[in-house]
Amino acid sequence: MDQRTFGHLMVAPLVEAPDGGVVPDVVAHIAPDPLDPLFDEEAFAAALRRKRTGIKRALLDQSLVSGIGNIYADEALWRARLHGERPTSGLRKAQVSLLVAQVRDVLREALKEGGTSFDGLYVNVNGESGYFERGLKAYGRGGAPCERCGTPIRRDAFMNRSSYTCPRCQPRPRGARPAG
């Protein structure tokens, strides 16, 4: 049995959302996801540069951008050729735009494939697994050759999880140590 809880039902007061609508107060801190038509890439880029953290930590921060989990962050970073420990404060506008485009592509592809299912606990309402894991380029591929350059994918510990990168395509920034 999976011990994590992914949802529940509650009654909560409504508050004004940044887009002028209303949302339950308990979720007002959650940012729009990149596929939301109201997602503001300029505001995201500015907030990202103010974060002063590594880009992967920022992508997982649901108050900055929602809908990106560990797997999809690794995949988008691999596609954008950015290392997750790259400081957000130094990202150029073009890099942020490329990253947002890659995040959107990863999310769209994952939705089309039914998500990423590694076991029977994560299935749709019909009991079917998602197939996005079949196309993963970085996540879960530690030791396997990078599909771009052939260098073995590296697995590092990251926030009690794993982070997967290509050492050649996504070089670790100078002075950065693997997050633990």
Q: Supply the angle between the helices 93-113 and 70-80 in degrees, to the nearest 10.
A: 130
| Model pTM above 0.85 | no
Q: What is the pLDDT of residue 2?
A: 52
Q: Are 140 and 119 in contact (CB under 8 A)?
A: no
Joined together, the tokens standing for residue 171 give 């070089």
3-56, pLDDT tens digit by residue? 556 677 889 999 987 777 788 898 888 888 999 998 999 999 999 999 899 999
**Domains of the chain by range and CATH?**
23-165 (1.10.8.50)
Tens-place pLDDT, residues 122-135: 555 555 555 566 67
